[in-house]
Structure formats: C-alpha cells, structure tokens
C-alpha cells in the first residue's frame, strides 16, 4: 500500500452538500479528526440549486403552526409510507437547525417584526418555508461552508470515492481518486457518513448536475447496506422545457407559492379539475380563494397548484398527452397574471423570484413579469435510498451512516417541497453526531491490502480496455434514454421488465468502455467510473418499481392504477445484494402507527 497516499480520519464524510457539511461540523465539534470528501469544489454541491426554502415550523408567520402540523403534513405527503419516527424528529428539530444557521451568518428574509419570514409551499398547511428570495440553497450552503472552514475539518475537494473499504463486518474507510492528477487516495476511518445526494443523472431530463450519479446508494449497496423504496423518484412538475439545451432546469415551486397558476393551451386552469380525496378539505375550490391564500389570508385554502408534486406532475402529463399542452410539450406557468391584482407586480415578481426572472430572461428570452413560462416535469429527487436507523442514521453496516437525499425514510412515497433542506440539516447533524460517537467508542481497524489492489485494477480498466470498446458518454446517454422512456412517470410491467434487460445489456457494454488520454483531469475516465453507480441505482429503481404493483405517490403504474394491491397493507420495498452478487428485493410491512402518531394525524385532518 506504500504506493497510495493514505489519510487517517476518525470520521470520513463523503459529500459536501448541506447534509455532508452539517455532519462534518457536528462530528468536528468534539475535536475529532474529520475528513470531508467532495467531487466538486467546496460550495458547489446541489444544495446550491435549492430555491424555494427550508421547511421549519417556526410559526413566525402563522402561530397555528407547530411540529405536530408539520409532522402530519409530511406523513400525508408521503402517503403514510414514511418512517414516522424520522418525520417526528424532523418536524421537531428543524426549527432549531434553521435558527442555528442564522448564528452562523445566514440571512433569511424577514417579517415585519424582524424575525425569519416564511412562505407557502405545496402540501404545507401554513406558511412554513424560511427562505432568501429564490436562492435559499445558496444561502444555506454558504453559511455552512463559511462556518465549516473554521472547524478544523480536512476538506478533500475534487475527489471521488469509488469503493468503501470493509474489515470484517465493519466499514473501515474508502478508496478514491483525486481528479487533478488521477492519483489514488486511501481513507482510513472509524466511521463513514454518506451524504452524496441523488441519482438524477440516471435520467435524460433532470434538474440534477453531473455529480448526481447515485454514488452513495451504490457504495452502500455494495458494502452490504439496504436500499429502501427506490421506486419513488420525484419528478418535479415544473422544469424548463424550452429551449432544448435547458430542458429540465428547475423552476421553483415558489413561483406557485407567490400566486403563479398553471394553464393549458385552452387557457384552462386544469389543476381545479382533479383534486385528490386526501386533500379536498384543504384545497381552494375557486381561483379567488387560491389567490388570497397566497397573499396570506389565513382563512383561505391553498390553490390546487400547491398540491403535492407527484399529483401536479401527473396532471401536467395528462394535459400534454390529451393534446392541451404548450407549443414545446409542457404547460403554461403564469406569474405575470398577478398584475391584475397588484399595482407593482413586475417589481414584486423580480424581488420575490429574482433568480427565476434572471434564468428565463437569459436562457429563454422570456420576461416572466410579462408572459407565461413553459414548464414540464423533470427528474428532481429520490425519496428512496439507503435504509438507516431513524435516530442515529446508521445503516445495517456497523460504522456506516447516511444522511440527506441518499438516505431514505422521511419522505415516503413523495417529498414535500422544502422538506429536503430541513432533512439535510436535521439528519446531517444526527449522522455527524452518531458517527462521532461510533468513532469514539470504536478504534481504527486495519485495511486489507488485497482488497485495495483489486479495486485499483478495476478502476484503471477503462484505459486497458480495447479501443473497440464504447465511448462512456454514449453508454451514459443510452441509459438515460432508457430510464426516461421505461422508468419515468408512467410505468408498466412491460416497460420495467424491459428496463431491467436494458440495464444488463448496458452493464456489459459499460464493463468494456474505453477511455482515451491519461489520468489527469480526464472527464471520460470519470464518466466511465460513474457508470457502475448509475447502473446499480437504475437497476434498483426498476426492480422496486416492478415489485410495487400499485400507483401511489411518485410511483405510477399504468397496469395497476389503485393505491394498494388488494389484500396487502402498506409496505416498503427493500433491495440488497445477495452473496451471489445479484440484486434481490423483498417487502416489509410499514410498522403500524403508534397511538400518539395516529392521534396527531387525525387531529390535523
């Protein structure tokens, strides 16, 4: 092992978005030696893209809000497949996690009395999202970053982890490479936290960047951890659709929170046409009520545009499919209409939604204060992920923790907007805390040299493969096309079975991809190595989607339109790797809600 640079940390954190940074800060608080590895430069992770806000029942704008309402909203939004304990911890702890950011320099927008302002968002009963215009994620990651750099954390920027290392049952470190020279790095650690984000790059139309290749999911799976509810991929209802090069870029739900409406080519506000049973009591039945809700009328109910994301996305797909779409295959999202209601509407829109204004003006030549946007669903988030203990965030592999988007449990079948930023703060902190505790209670374990040599050879294989091998970008593009087509918003037995076959074919091709050039900052090589992760998560998504013969939350089966299969109760799907190195799936019933939880849910209607 003398040939590889080795770093020894008490706690190693993989991923430096909100969850990873928050975990690192927490783990470093007790003076432990913490390493933080990230694929990009620090502060560029996907958290930076989050726009609308962070959900926390601060009750600054509406005093009727409380952790109990937030808990009930999260459970309802997740179609009661969420882990109730996680939903409880999340709702209880997110207010303090948000306040703490302010102590680290974050500056949220203010109420009249000078406290943190909160806005309306889909599925939240009261204005609950603390925000900074529509650049909340930037504010959060910068506050965490600027605080984090003074906590003695060793940051390894532009490094990618390709495998976790285990000694016996326990995780003992990780193997990675640095981008600049392509050199290998060995990280020895007493505990490891995965905070790698999502899987959006498995799809063609996505709001996610190149980094979102499901690394954490794949690393955990190969290390023996379980993946849960992988079929639940959130297709955010409003991504840009035109021009083609920006297709998929996110248009914040905040547009609808500020009064934006969805219309079809006939000018009809189609969201009023289909309001799910679970939400009838909470949804406005006329446009005026919806408008005054967005303007803070406490007695009004929310407009149907602010129904949960899974539902809004399906309605948009229906409109397009039935021929009422916009010219480029989406629908219209109109915020400019509020000039009928507000005298200074253009200025108001620019102040509330500055980056949306900027984004459309510069990328699509559209002035959103004057004309409607064209929007359609885009792959945005995965509710499923690494199965963890609700309190500690530890997986079934001793010493291996996960937090943020790559972990699962909180969001069930559908995530509410704003609950991801709070998720990563609450559970990032918990993961850091318990990973530190694990590291304190358990010593270093020695690494196994033969395992490391084997990984090193595997990682260099794309250079050694025959020049006849495929171009890694080509394989990535083919996978994205297939996942989009076969495992997208509308799924069936046939499409999913075909997807699993395609994944196998592409896996063989991926094994033979050829990389040109040398090891220095070679994007082709990096893309080749990411393929394994993408294929693993794609297979798990398709397999879980095939297993769930129902349409619930973000998962829709054309052949099984009902919410539950007859005769089965609520269950979670669980994927794991068998001893024969194949992917297996099973169901586990969702534990019955305790009386206390059930009472809260009943009380909140």
Instruction: Choose the binding region for other proteins from 7-15, 245-253, 438-446, 452-460 (rule: CB under 8 A).
Output: 245-253
- Among 166-174, 519-527, 556-564, 597-605, the segment contacting other proteins (CB under 8 A): 519-527
Measured from the CB atom, the residue of 99 and 444 that comes closer to other proteins is 99
Closest to 171 measured CA to CA, from 385, 405, 383, 14? 14
Q: Which is nearer to other proteins, 262 or 513 (CB)?
A: 513
Q: Compute and round to an integer the Cα radius of gyration of the chain.
A: 23
Examine the residue annotation and report whether 236 is marked as an active-site residue of this protein.
yes
Q: Of these, 2, 63, 113, 323, which contacts other proteins (CB under 8 A)?
A: 113
Residue 18 in the binding site for other proteins (CB under 8 A): no
Segment lying near other proteins (by CB under 8 A), choices 28-36, 314-322, 518-526, 534-542: 518-526
In the residue annotation, 256 being an active-site residue is answered as yes
**Alpha helices (H) in 104-135, listed in sequence order:** none
Nearer to other proteins (CB atom), residue 88 or residue 139? 139
The active-site residue out of 128, 131, 179, 256 is 256
Q: Does 110 bind other proteins (CB under 8 A)?
A: yes
All residues at 6 or more sequence positions from 395 whose CB lies less than 8 Å from its CB, including other chains: 220, 225, 226, 386, 387, 388, 389, 401, 402
Name the token pair of 383.
């509710």
Of the residues 124, 236, 491, 557, only one is catalytic, namely 236
Q: In 359-462, at which residue ranges do the beta strands (DSSP E only) sit?
A: 373-382, 385-387, 400-402, 407-408
Measured CA distances, 441 to 60, 190, 429, 434 (Å): 41, 9, 18, 10
Distance (Å, whole) CA 32 – CA 37: 16
Q: List C-alpha distances in Å: 443 to 8, 10, 88.
A: 12, 9, 32
359 binds other proteins (CB under 8 A): yes
Would you count residue 486 as binding other proteins (CB under 8 A)? no
Q: How far is the CB of 197 from other proteins (least distance, A)?
A: 11
CB of 363 to other proteins, least distance (A): 7
Distance between CA atoms of 334 and 366, rounded to whole angstroms? 12
Give the footprint of other proteins on residues 51-80 (CB under 8 A). none
**Of 146, 273, 494, 603, the one binding other proteins by CB under 8 A:** 146
Among 392, 437, 471, 492, binds other proteins (CB under 8 A): 471
Build a one-symbol-per-residue string for 262-301: x at contacts with other proteins by CB under 8 A, - elsewhere: ----------------------------------------
Binding segment (CB under 8 A) for other proteins, from list 356-364, 489-497, 543-551, 581-589: 356-364
200 near other proteins, judged by CB under 8 A: no
In the list 20, 133, 197, 257, the residue contacting other proteins (rule: CB under 8 A) is 133
Q: What 3 state SS string does 507-564 have?
A: HHHHHCCCCCCCCCCCHHHHHHHHHHHHHHHHHHHHHHHHHCCCCECCECECCECCCC
Residue 139 found at the interface with other proteins (CB under 8 A): yes
Q: Which of 16, 22, 40, 400 binds other proteins (CB under 8 A)?
A: 40
Q: Is 421 in the site for other proteins (CB under 8 A)?
A: no
Alpha-carbon distance of 177 to 107, in angstroms, equals 36
Closest CA to 354 of 45, 51, 137: 51
Q: Give CA–CA dist 240/192, Å, rounded.
A: 37
* H or E element, residue 155: strand 154-156
CB 275 within 8 A of CB 283: yes
Residue choice 188, 196, 209, 556 for contact with other proteins (CB under 8 A) = 209
Burial 134-151 (b: 16+ CB within 10 A, else e): bbbbbbbbbbbbebbeeb
Residue 373 C-beta: closest distance to other proteins, Å: 14
- The helix-helix angle for 215-222 and 523-547 (nearest 10°) equals 70
> How many Å apart are CA 268 and CA 288, to the nearest integer?
15
Shortest distance (Å) from residue 336 CB to other proteins = 21
Among 1, 64, 150, 321, binds other proteins (CB under 8 A): 150
Q: Which residue lies nearer to other proteins by CB, 104 or 337? A: 104
Tokens encoding 552: 């619930």
Q: Binding other proteins by CB under 8 A: which of 92, 142, 324, 507? A: 142
Which residue, 54, 402, 431, is CA-closest to 228?
A: 402
The rounded distance, in Å, linking the Cα atoms of 12 and 171 is: 11
How many angstroms separate the CA atoms of 275 and 232, rounded? 21
Q: Which of 46, 387, 491, 557 binds other proteins (CB under 8 A)?
A: 46
Task: Verify binding: residue 29, other proteins, rule CB under 8 A.
Answer: no
> Which residue in 6, 29, 30, 42 binds other proteins (CB under 8 A)?
42
| Site for other proteins contains 517 (CB under 8 A) | yes
- The residue (of 8 and 470) whose beta carbon lies closer to other proteins is 470
- Choosing from 37, 138, 220, 228, the residue that interacts with other proteins (CB under 8 A) is 138
**Which 86-105 positions form the footprint of other proteins (CB under 8 A)?**
96, 99-100, 102-105
The answer to whether 377 contacts other proteins (rule: CB under 8 A) is no
Q: Is 74 helix (H, G, I), strand (E, B) or coil?
A: helix
Annotated catalytic residues are 236, 256
Residues that bind other proteins in the complex, under the rule CB under 8 A? 40-46, 48-49, 96, 99-100, 102-105, 107, 109-110, 113-117, 132-133, 135, 138-139, 142, 146-147, 149-150, 157, 180, 209-211, 242-246, 249-250, 355, 358-359, 362-364, 471-474, 477, 515-518, 520-525, 527
């Amino acid at each position: 092992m003398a040939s590889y640079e080795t770093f020894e940390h008490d706690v190693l954190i993989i991923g430096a978005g909100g969850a990873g940074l928050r975990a690192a800060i927490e783990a470093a608080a007790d003076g432990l030696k913490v390493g933080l590895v990230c694929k990009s430069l620090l502060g560029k992770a996907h958290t930076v893209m989050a726009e609308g806000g962070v959900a926390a029942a601060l009750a600054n704008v509406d005093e009727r809000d409380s952790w109990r309402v937030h808990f009930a909203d999260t459970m309802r939004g997740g179609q009661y497949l969420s882990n109730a304990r996680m939903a409880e911890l999340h709702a209880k702890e997110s207010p303090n996690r948000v306040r703490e950011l302010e102590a680290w320099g974050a500056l949220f927008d203010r109420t009249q009395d000078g406290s943190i302002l909160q806005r309306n968002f889909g599925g939240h009963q009261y204005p609950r999202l603390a925000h900074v215009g529509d650049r909340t994620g930037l504010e959060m990651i910068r506050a965490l970053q600027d605080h984090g750099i003074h906590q003695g954390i060793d940051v390894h920027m532009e490094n990618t982890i390709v495998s976790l290392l285990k000694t016996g049952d326990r995780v003992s470190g990780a193997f990675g490479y640095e981008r600049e020279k392509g050199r290998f790095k060995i990280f020895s650690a007493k505990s490891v936290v995965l905070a790698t984000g999502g899987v959006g790059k498995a799809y063609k139309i996505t709001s996610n960047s190149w980094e979102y290749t499901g690394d954490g999911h794949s690393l955990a799976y190969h290390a023996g951890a379980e993946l849960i509810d992988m079929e639940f991929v959130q297709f955010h209802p409003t991504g840009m659709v035109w021009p083609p090069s920006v297709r998929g870029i996110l248009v914040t739900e905040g547009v609808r929170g500020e009064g934006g409406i969805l219309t079809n080519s006939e000018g009809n506000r189609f969201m009023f046409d289909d309001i799910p049973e679970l939400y009838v009591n909470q949804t406005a039945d006329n446009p005026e009520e919806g408008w005054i809700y967005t303007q803070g009328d406490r007695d009004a109910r929310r407009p149907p545009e602010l129904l949960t994301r899974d539902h809004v996305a399906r309605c948009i797909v229906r409109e397009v499919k039935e021929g009422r779409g916009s010219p480029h295959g989406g629908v219209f999202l109109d915020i400019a209409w509020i000039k009928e209601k507000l005298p200074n509407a253009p200025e108001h829109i620019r102040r509330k939604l500055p980056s949306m204004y900027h984004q459309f003006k510069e990328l699509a030549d559209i002035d959103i204060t004057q004309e409607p946007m064209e929007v359609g669903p885009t792959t945005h988030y995965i509710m499923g992920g690494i199965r963890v203990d609700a309190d500690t965030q530890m997986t079934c592999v001793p010493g291996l923790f996960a937090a943020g988007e790559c972990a699962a449990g909180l969001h069930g079948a559908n995530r509410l907007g704003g609950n991801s930023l709070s998720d990563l703060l609450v559970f990032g902190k918990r993961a850091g805390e318990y990973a530190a505790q694990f590291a304190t209670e358990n010593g270093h374990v020695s690494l196994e040299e033969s395992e490391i040599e084997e990984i090193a050879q595997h990682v260099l294989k794309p250079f050694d493969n025959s020049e006849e091998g495929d171009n890694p970008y080509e394989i990535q593009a083919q996978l994205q096309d297939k996942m989009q087509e076969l495992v997208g918003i509308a799924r069936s037995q046939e499409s999913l079975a075909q997807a699993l076959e395609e994944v196998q074919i592409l896996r063989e091709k991926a094994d033979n991809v050829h990389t040109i050039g040398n090891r220095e900052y070679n994007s082709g090589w990096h893309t080749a190595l990411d393929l394994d992760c993408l294929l693993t998560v794609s297979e798990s998504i398709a397999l879980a989607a095939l297993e769930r013969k129902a349409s619930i939350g973000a998962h829709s089966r054309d052949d099984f339109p009902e919410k539950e299969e007859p005769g089965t109760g609520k269950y979670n799907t669980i994927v794991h790797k068998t001893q024969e190195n194949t992917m297996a799936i099973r169901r586990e019933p969702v534990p019955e809600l305790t009386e206390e939880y059930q009472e809260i849910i009943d009380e909140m209607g």
